[in-house]
Amino acid sequence: MRVHPLLAVAAVLALGCASGAGPAGMAPGGLPDPAALDAARLVRAPTVSVRTTGGRPTNPLHTSQISSPAFNEALAAEIASSGALRPVYDGPAEYRLEVDLAALEQPFWGWLGMEVALVADWRLYEVRTGRLVWEQRIASRYEASGQDSPWGIRRLRLANEGSARSNIAEGVAELAALGLAPAPRASDAVR
């Protein structure tokens, strides 16, 4: 059976295109307004550079995915909101956080509920010494239902975002529990 090209385009437009998980949907507290962050608390927090790997960009004609840059943005926003560490983007940091999105299990098709499972490997290094300070494998799940959206393509994106949101919330809580102090600097030494 041959499908007319205009009919195929109309079907894609009617069903919608896949969109990737967005940073605002993945950040547990949403993306904070920079003016709302507690600047005094952040100044005293140790600095951290954040790097995410293992994500995949979304092909609009396929299924929603979690990209490394979007996860990284949501993660940095949540770290800043927590006040446990201060993300730096263009300069040296005291710590380096590496998060590898190791596995993303998604349904190929779903009627009402779509559950997504995300496994991420978190590693925190002290930059000065290269020492591994903390390591954790975090697994999270989230199910988006028909009440969240009648459209399956949107439910999958919402399930991706929910799974990432849970993973980020747990990871940042674990980082905050470490109680890291800023690394001493040579200029801080008493003479």
- Residue 190: predicted pLDDT: 46
Q: Are 118 and 103 a contacting pair, CB within 8 Å? A: yes
pLDDT at 58 over 50: yes
Q: What average pLDDT does the segment 19-27 reach? A: 83
- For residue 33, the tally of other CB atoms under 10 A from its CB is 7
Q: Which residues is 86 bridged to in the sheet?
A: 47
pLDDT band per the 50, 70, 90 thresholds, residue 108: confident
Enter the pTM of the model: 0.81
Q: How is domain 17-178 classified at the CATH fold level?
A: Rossmann fold (3.40.50)
Structure tokens at 149: 């959206």
Q: Are 144 and 114 a contacting pair, CB within 8 Å? A: yes
- Residue 183: predicted pLDDT: 61
pLDDT band per the 50, 70, 90 thresholds, residue 3: low
CA–CA separation, 47 and 87 (whole Å): 6
49 versus 30: which is more confidently predicted?
49
